[in-house]
Chain A
Amino acid sequence: MKIQPSIPNMLPGEKVVLLLHRHGFIAFRFALVYIFFAILPLIGWWYLNSNTTIFEDPTNFGYALVALLLSAYALVWILLFFITWLNYYLDVWIVTNERIINIAQQRLFYRVVSEQKLYRVQDVTWEMKGIVANMFRYGNVQVQTAGEDDRFIFENISQPEKVAQAIMNLLESIEKQVGLDKIAEIEGEFGAKSAEEPKKNNTA
């Protein structure tokens, strides 16, 4: 759980309460895959070095081909690693005292930003599924809003129970500030039939 002082397009008087990324174990999992693919060319290099004479004469065709292939492999590997890290790191859920923002970095050139007003939140559910998730304490938090299908899912975040509790605390404080009658009035305006879809912005 990480708290940042500011976010882009902040509303006046808005404060960031939670800024959430996926759990570090998710990053560790993809890092393992990339480590495996980093070892592969080293094995190839060792095999060629011990069984052939390619590396003894740098002027021959085999050396040129292997050097080019290894260079290309290293460049592609490092770029894909960085893009995968970027997709992981830029997948963010932000909870402020006014709204919930879901930023999904799907691919390098595909980014979806959705947001929902906090007073529209009706139900918060959290889950930790599986042995590994329970061991490392990560899971999902589902935030149900006023619309029928409007649901935000914070996927694989650290300590989902604390996040759910924090959102519930925020809702309680909003109810205290605004008053339950006002909330009911606002919810009435956003009834299930007239519920709008969450605002979505696709940016490259």
Chain B
Amino acid sequence: MMISLWLLLIPFGLLVIVWLFLSIAAVLKMLRFGFLSRTAVISTFAFLVFSIAVFATSIISLSQVDWSASYTFGTPSINLPNVNGLKDRIPQIPKP
């Protein structure tokens, strides 16, 4: 079975969308109900900084991948053209 590498990005993209939704909700909740105290603001800022760092690292490492490539699982089936009847002349190994 052959799959394209970019297919792996689909679940990752879905995860990022859910992540963004929950992150925005969490940040808004912290700022709204955290009385805008110093701890609430600093922890929100730290979360945003670390998230950006994780995103940047991910983008750098993922950008090195050739996403147009394909990968074959299991034994590959080779269909060579039968040029000059060469395929017919391959000696058959007798089955035991």
Contacts and interface: CB of A to CB of B under 8 A. Distances in A.
A167 B66 CA distance: 65
B5 A79 contact: no
**What is the interface of chain B mostly: helix, strand, loop, or mixed?**
helix
Contacts of B47: 78, 82
Nearest to B54: A74
B61 A67 contact: yes
A128 to B, nearest CB: 25
Interface residue range, chain A = 20 to 34
A48 interface: no
Nearest to B51: A78
Contact of A76 (B19, B39, B57): B19
Contacts of A111: 33
A83 interface: yes
Interface residue range, chain B = 35 or more
A186 interface: no
B14 to A, nearest CB: 10
Contact of A79 (B22, B40, B61): B22
A66 B58 CA distance: 11
B65 A67 contact: yes
A85 B65 contact: no
Interface in B55-77: 55, 57-58, 61-62, 64-67, 69, 71
Contact of B22 (A83, A89, A105): A83
B17 to A, nearest CB: 11
A106 interface: no
Given A64-B5, A90-B33, A59 B64 contact: yes
A57 B35 CA distance: 49
A161 to B, nearest CB: 24
Given A61-B71, A79-B19, A67 B62 contact: yes
11 contacts: A59-B69, A65-B8, A68-B12, A74-B54, A75-B55, A78-B47, A78-B50, A82-B26, A86-B26, A89-B40, A109-B25
